[in-house]
Amino acid sequence: MTRPVVDEHARKTSLESVRAPAEDQPEAGQPGWIDMDVRWLVTRETVGAEQSVFGVTYFPPGSRHEVHRHPHAEEVEYLIAGAGVARVGDDDVAMVAGDAVFVPRNDLHGFRNTSETETAVMAWSYHGAASLDEAGYIPEPS
């Protein structure tokens, strides 16, 4: 017996469906979000997640996410395209497409695109929270 395949589903989302003007994104007004295009694909709000967040961020040349921490969530960052430097704890870690880093709960982290011509694309996820508010966001003072 063949099961029907549906195009629309309450638990399905896409990069285009979550694209929003910068002022309407969850990070709007947060310090340290420099010229990033953040797409929040899986959250409590988008698909009813309870303990997970998944997204994709586009980092054009010169963009960065300054050092911060999430007291209520772990994070995984996977670089899909481009190159950059991830801060993980006290270390600056060179990343190229195919690299992933794990950030423990409450550990300092951030990312900067090091290319002058190529956009870096990162998939990332929080575990233990279903939104940025639940994960907590504490910027590191400069």
pLDDT of residue 24: 66
Rounded CA Rg of the chain = 16
pLDDT of residue 110: 97
Report the SS3 class of residue 133: helix
Q: Residues in the chain with pLDDT < 70?
A: 21-29, 142
The domain segmentation of the chain, as residue ranges, is 31-137
At residue 122, what are phi and psi to the nearest 5 degrees?
Answer: -125, 130
Other CB atoms within 10 Å distance of the CB of residue 27: 16
pTM value?
A: 0.90
pLDDT of residue 87: 97
Fold for the domain defined by 31-137: Jelly Rolls (2.60.120)
Question: Tens digit of pLDDT for each residue in 11-52?
Answer: 999 988 888 766 666 666 677 888 899 999 999 999 999 999
